[in-house]
Each structure stands twice: as structure tokens, then as C-alpha cells.
Homo-oligomer: A and B are copies of this chain.
Amino acid sequence: MARQVRSSKDAILGAARREFAARGFAGARVESIARAAGCNKAMLFYYFSSKEKLYRAVLSRALGEIFAEIAGIVHEQLTPAEFMEKFPEIYVRFLARNLDLPRILVFDLVHRPENIAAAMTDILRANTDFRPQRFQDMIRSWHRQGLISEGDPLHFMLNVVSLSIFSFLARPLVEAISGLKVQNDEAFCRARIQSVVRILKQGMLK
């Protein structure tokens, strides 16, 4: 029985992640996912029953990984300064290591936000210990204590996340406009983290 179930299913999931990341949902070809996974196209439908469902599996996996990476930092009782140092470090490095994820996410973010919302709901249901509400309250309390200048949790998080994630999307554009080229990824990561931490602390800490 099923000695290597996992291997095929996982191979498909991995190949699907790469394909969806590279071409988007509509651009991805079921056939080439199967080929990349080293199996027959029918295997894919055997395990996932449709392209759509395969995609959802990939998406919630991706979201789950990002989420797991961030969840820790949200639980610790950090000062705002510590948070502004740790978050970009963790987030930027994680994204640099897993470029597929922002590529997948960004497409849904723009073209099918309901998808993300749905996947997010699943994750939140699975991680019952994580309460976004608590995180919001923390930001609000930082503001009430006069520690930070941005009192709206939505804009606080938008500022933090924007600065950390957008460079991975916009780099080609900014490079094209500016004529500057990023040669070394590690150097870029370090510089980006440094710049983000500085503007966050200087800009939102009181």
C-alpha cells in the first residue's frame, strides 16, 4: 500500500508552486506541472481533482509558511523598537529565500483577493492561538503609551509590510528607471533591511 504516496503528491505540489509562481494561475500548464513533477498528468487530477484545487493547495501552503515565519514574532512581547528591528530582518530574509511566495501571492492579491481571504481564514482557524485582535491592541497600546506616532494599526502594518516586501516586486522597475543594477543579492538584502529598519524607527518611533 501507498509506500511513496507523499513523494508523488509532494513532487506535484512543489512543481506546481514553481509553475504558478513563474506563470500565474491562468498561465500555468497542468501538463508541464506534471512533467516537472516526473509523473503523468492524470496523477495530478488523481490527487487534486482540478487545477483550481491544486492551486488552492499551493496557495494555502505558501500563506501558511509565511504565516509561521511571522507568527513567532507577534507572540513575543516586544517593544516597538524591537519589533521594527526584527520584523524586516525576518521578513526580508524569508522572502529572499522563498521568492516564489511573493510571486504567487501578488497575483492573487491583485486579481483574486477572495482567494487570499479564504486561505487566510483557513489558516487563522487552524492556528487558534493566533489572535490578530491581540496584535492590533498591542499597536494601539503602543500608541496610547506615546511610544509610536502612527496610531492606526492598519497603516502601521501597511508601512512595515510595504517597505519589507515591495522591493522584491519593484526591483526590476526601479532598476530600469534608475539605471542602477543590483549585483549582489546578499548585499542588497542587507542594505534593504538596514534602510527599512532605519526609516521605520526614525519615522514611527517617538
Q: Could you tell me which A residues sit within 8 Å of B by CB distance?
A: 22-27, 102-103, 105-107, 109-111, 113, 116-117, 120-121, 132-133, 135-136, 149-150, 152-155, 157-159, 161-163, 165-167, 169-170, 172-180, 182, 191-192, 195-196, 198-204
Contact = CB atoms under 8 A, between A and B. Distances in A.
Contacts of A203: 198-204
Nearest to A166: B162
A26 B19 CA distance: 13
Contacts of A196: 159
The 8 A-B pairs at the shortest CB distance, nearest first, are namely A203-B203, A26-B27, A113-B172, A162-B166, A199-B203, A155-B195, A26-B26, A120-B176
Query: Majority SS of interface residues in chain A?
Result: helix
Contacts of A155: 191-192, 195
A173 B120 contact: yes
Number of copies of this chain that the complex holds: 2
Nearest to A105: B173
13 contacts: A25-B27, A106-B110, A116-B172, A116-B176, A149-B202, A153-B180, A158-B195, A159-B163, A159-B199, A162-B162, A165-B170, A199-B204, A200-B203
